[in-house]
Each structure stands twice: as structure tokens, then as C-alpha cells.
Amino acid sequence: MKFLDQAKIYLKSGDGGDGVTAFRREKYIEFGGPDGGDGGRGGDIIFESVENLNTLIDFRYTQHFKAKKGGNGAGSDRTGAGAPSLVIKVPVGTQIFDDERETMLADMDKPGMRIVLLKGGDGGFGNARYKTSTNRAPRRSDKGWPGEERWVWLRLKLIADAGLVGLPNAGKSTFLKAVSGAKPKIADYPFTTLHPQLGVVRLNMSEEFVLADIPGLIEGAHEGTGLGDRFLGHVERCAVLMHLIDGAAGHVVDAWRTIRAELEAYGGGLSEKPEIIVLNKADVMTPRELSSRKAALAKASGAKVMSISAVSGQGVKEVLRALQDVINEAKAERAGA
């Protein structure tokens, strides 16, 4: 299944049904009078977030959504049937923006959320509504009110506890595959990962978290270089970022600064998130190289630097434990807020 995290769709709620003009004609009632019923209400447009979806690919092929019109009224004061609501199911984490992408209309960040985005039109009045003491036989009835319509943008931000960032070929996909059940494509060329990948990491029977692998950033990503920074939105909701650096490639401080600059240029609070810095490929470095590069990176960042080998598993458990601890703290803070 292809990954799609943005889509533009057209929405229209249902028009209200028409009221009718009708009169009673009964054998033993001398003066029948008006009995035209009202029209039914048009269908609403409702969005619902569901857990079994993780892409907006369905909206590439279906881009127009129209709810049904309400039923027309009838004689004998019969009101037209109300039209059913049109429910559009989206992945958890979907945000709905207006056509200009400036105003957020809804943020579907929890499973089972439902929001009425467009209301259906009210039904028109039948002529029975207009009967008065001076107007005993009104012939007025109204058309139903039109429904609402608009174009909206859907943007998916994956719901993950931890985000995995780094330069291309830092070993992010290898790490994700090693610690979870995800099966990302792995190759020895840049930008092997073209779309975000999710994996569930289980430390024990009671602790687990969702890890998101974001396609590699390069210098100038915020200006559209390489794959750009559009996928960074998927880690805006994360509690912690794991910054993976290729220790064997050297220039580890420059690599760290490049990603930090892109996070700051992107905004969205990413540069303020807790960051765990990890040197990868410890198995192909000498102890002296590993020690000196960790020291240089710790001095530049002012933070503790961990080291792993995603291939051999060296140091992986310690890193996962550190990620889980930060996630647990974030959850405890949200629960106490």
C-alpha cells in the first residue's frame, strides 16, 4: 500500500428537502384546509478517526464527497425523511485545514473521534406552516435550504511516541527493523527510505512504544533540498527524538549540527523536544575512534552521547530503555496536567 500524507478533497453536505403545497380533501369535512408537510434535513458531513488506517491513499482516487438531499414533504402533514450523514473515515492523527492551508478546522488525534464538519441544510416549510386565522388556504411552501460546501486539505501526522531522525544512510531503517516488526527497505544508497515508517518496540510485557523513522534529511531540507522537510510533521507529536549519527563516516559533529539546523528551521517545536544522541556503527570503529567521536559530540551538544551497533545489537537495549524513560515521563506529565 502506498503512503500518502496529504490530500485535497471537496465536501458538500446535503440540501434540505422541499416543503409542499397540499390540501385536505375528505368526503365529510367541508373545509379541508392546508396539510402540506415540511422537507427533511439534508445529510451532514462527519469525519471519524479510526485505528486501522495509516495513510490517506484512498483520497487520491475519491476526491468528491456529497451527502444526500433530504426527502420532500408530502400531503397529510407528512415530513420528508432526513438524509443519512456521510461519515468519512480517516487515520488517527489527521488534521483538516481550509483551502488556503492556514486555518486548522479539526485535529483527529484520538481514536474514535467524530466531528461534524459540514451541517446539512434544513428542510423547507410546507403550506400547513403558513395557515393563520386570516389566511385559511395558504399556497406558499419553501424550497429546502442548501447544504454547505468547501474544499479542504487533509494532512496526516503519524501518532508515534519517538521519532528517528538523521542524515541519509545513518542506519535508521536498520535500527527500526532490528528493534521492531517493521520491514523497511534497506540499501546502501541515500534516500532508500522515501516515506515514514512506523514500528512498535516492546521492551517487556508492560512497556512498548511506537517509533517513527523519518526519511533522511540533508542540509537545506527546509528549502526543499533532497526530499525536503515535509515528513518532519510526523514527529511533531513525539515525546522524544532519537538522533542517529553514522559514527563510522566521521565528521559526527557536522552531521549533528546539520540536522539540528534543519529542525530549528522547520519549527513546530521540534528543536525543543528531548533528544537522545546516538552514534551508530560502533562495530566498525576502533575503541579509540569511538571514544574520541563520542567526546567531541558530547562537547558540541552538551548532552550525553550513547553508542550502538544496529547490526550486532550492541548498546541497543540501553538506548531503548532511555527512550522509554523519556516517554514515560511525558505520559506522566500529561496525566497530571
Which residues are part of a known binding site for Mg(2+)?
Answer: 173, 193
Task: Please state the residue numbers annotated as binding site.
Answer: 166-173, 191-195, 213-216, 280-283, 309-311
d(CA 22, CA 82): 20
Quick one: angle between helices 252-266 and 287-301, nearest 10? 30
Pick from 322, 217, 331: nearest CA to 277? 322
Q: Per this entry, what is the length of the chain? A: 337
Report the Cα 151 to chain-centroid distance in Å: 17
- Sole residue written with cell 502506498: 2
Task: Please state the residue numbers annotated as binding site for GTP.
Answer: 166-173, 191-195, 213-216, 280-283, 309-311
Pick from 80, 64, 99: nearest CA to 145? 80
Q: Which helix (H) or strand (E) holds 317?
A: helix 316-336
At 250 the three-state DSSP class reads: coil
d(CA 5, CA 156): 5
DSSP string, 9-78: EEEEPPPPPPP---B---TT-SS--B-PPPPPPPPPEEEEEETT----THHHH--EEEPPPPPP-BTTTB
Q: Which three cell numbers stand for residue 72?
A: 420532500
Report the Cα 327 to chain-centroid distance in Å: 20
| Bridge partner residues of 11 (DSSP) | 65, 150
Measured from the Cβ of residue 126, the count of other Cβ atoms closer than 10 Å reads 30
